[in-house]
C-alpha cells in the first residue's frame, strides 16, 4: 500500500507542477497558444497511455436491472454520510490541498506584485520554484508512505500540516525571491508526504467492495480545491490590494495557514483502522 500510495501522490503533484511549467512558456514567448496546445497534447498522451496499459481489475458489480442513470445517481446517495471517517477525511483533504494550490496557482501574482519581478524574471523563477517542488516531492513521497506504515497515517498528516504551515509562512513574509524559494522546499515536502499518506489512509478506511465510488467522490474534492483556493485568494488579493497592492498576494498566502489548521482539525475524528 505504501508504494502504490507514494506513486499516486508523486504523479498528482508532478501533474500540477508540469502544468505550471508548460504554462510558463507563455511568459517567455508572449503568447499562450503554444502552452495551451502543449497542455492539450499532454492530456491526450496520458489518456492514450491509460486506455492502452491500465488493467481495470475486478469485474464490476451486476446492474440488477438498473439503468446507467440510476447507477450514476446512486454514487451520490446519502448513505455515504454513514461513513463518518470518510466524510471527515474529505474535509481534511480539501483544506490541505487548498493550501498547496494557493502557492502554485497564485505564484505569478506573488512574484509580480509582492516581489516586484518582471514577466521575464517570473518565467525563470516560476520554473525554479516548480522544479524545487518536484524534487522535494519526489524525494519525500515514498519515504513518507513507508513511514506512515510504522507511525500511523494521521501522525504523518499532522506533521505535513505543521511543516507546510512553516513553509507558507516563510514564503508569505519573504523579503526577496531567494528567501521565498528556500521556503518553497518545506511546502513541497509537505505536499508530497500528504498526497502519499492521504491516499493510503483513504484506501484503508473505505469499504473495499465499493471503493470506486468513494475514490471518485474524493477526486471531486481534489478538483474543487483549486477553484476554491483561487476564489478565496483572489478576493483576498483584491480587498487587500486596494489598500496595498504588494500586500495582497502575501495575505492570500497567509490564508494557507488557516487551511492547514482546518485540515488537521477535521482529521481528528477519522478512525484510521483498516476496513475490509
Residues 136 and 216: their CA atoms lie apart, in Å, by 27
For 116, left (φ over 0), alpha (ψ -120 to 50), or beta? left
Copy the grid coordinates of residue 235.
Answer: 478576493
CB-side neighbour CA atoms (13 Å) of 137? 27
Burial of 182 (0-12, 13-18, 19+ CB in 10 A): middle
How far out from the chain centre does Cα 171 lie?
A: 18
Kindly report the CA angle at 202 between 197 and 151, in degrees rounded to 5? Answer: 40
Cα separations (Å) of 40 from 13, 23, 28, 36, 226? 18, 11, 19, 6, 19
Q: Check residue 112 and report its DSSP letter.
A: I
The reported pTM is 0.81
Q: Which domains does the chain have, with CATH numbers?
A: 2-50+83-267 (1.20.1250.20)
pLDDT in the model for residue 103: 93
From 162, 107, 161, 98, select the one nearest 132 (Cα to Cα). 107
**Cα(92)–Cα(211) distance, rounded to whole angstroms?**
19
Cα–Cα distance for residue pair 122/189, rounded to 1 Å: 23
Nearest to 7 by CA among 151, 202, 185, 195: 195
Q: Is residue 65 left, alpha or beta, with left meaning phi > 0 and alpha meaning psi from -120 to 50?
A: left
pLDDT by position in tens, the chain (length 276): 556 666 776 676 667 667 767 777 776 777 778 888 888 888 898 899 888 988 776 666 666 777 777 767 766 767 777 788 889 999 999 999 999 999 988 999 999 999 999 888 888 898 888 888 878 877 888 788 788 888 888 999 999 999 999 999 999 999 999 999 999 999 989 988 888 888 888 888 887 666 777 778 888 888 899 999 999 999 999 999 889 989 999 999 999 999 999 999 999 999 887 766
Amino acid at each position: 500500500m505504501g508504494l502504490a500510495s507514494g506513486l499516486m501522490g508523486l504523479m498528482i503533484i508532478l501533474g500540477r507542477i508540469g502544468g505550471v511549467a508548460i504554462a510558463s512558456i507563455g511568459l517567455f514567448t508572449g503568447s499562450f497558444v503554444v502552452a495551451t496546445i502543449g497542455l492539450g497534447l499532454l492530456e491526450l498522451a496520458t489518456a492514450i497511455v491509460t486506455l492502452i496499459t491500465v488493467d481495470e481489475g475486478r469485474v464490476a458489480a451486476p446492474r440488477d436491472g438498473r439503468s446507467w442513470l440510476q447507477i450514476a445517481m446512486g454514487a451520490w446517495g446519502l448513505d455515504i454520510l454513514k461513513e463518518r471517517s470518510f466524510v471527515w477525511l474529505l474535509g481534511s483533504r480539501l483544506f490541505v490541498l487548498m493550501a498547496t494550490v494557493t502557492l502554485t496557482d497564485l505564484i505569478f501574482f506573488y512574484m509580480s506584485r509582492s516581489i516586484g519581478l518582471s514577466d521575464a524574471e517570473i518565467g525563470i523563477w516560476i520554473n525554479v520554484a516548480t522544479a524545487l517542488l518536484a524534487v522535494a516531492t519526489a524525494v519525500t513521497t515514498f519515504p513518507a508512505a513507508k513511514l506512515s506504515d510504522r507511525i500511523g497515517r494521521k501522525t504523518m498528516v499532522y506533521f505535513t500540516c505543521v511543516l507546510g504551515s512553516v513553509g507558507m509562512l516563510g514564503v508569505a513574509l519573504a523579503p526577496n525571491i531567494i528567501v521565498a524559494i528556500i521556503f518553497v522546499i518545506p511546502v513541497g515536502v509537505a505536499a508530497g508526504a500528504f498526497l502519499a499518506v492521504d491516499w493510503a489512509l483513504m484506501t484503508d478506511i473505505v469499504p473495499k467492495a465499493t471503493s470506486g465510488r468513494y475514490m471518485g467522490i474524493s477526486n471531486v474534492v481534489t478538483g474543487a480545491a483549486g477553484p476554491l483556493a483561487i476564489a478565496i485568494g483572489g478576493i483576498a488579493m483584491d480587498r487587500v490590494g486596494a489598500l496595498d497592492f504588494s500586500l495582497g498576494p502575501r495575505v492570500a498566502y497567509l490564508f494557507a495557514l488557516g487551511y492547514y489548521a482546518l485540515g488537521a482539525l477535521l482529521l481528528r475524528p477519522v478512525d484510521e483502522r483498516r476496513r475490509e
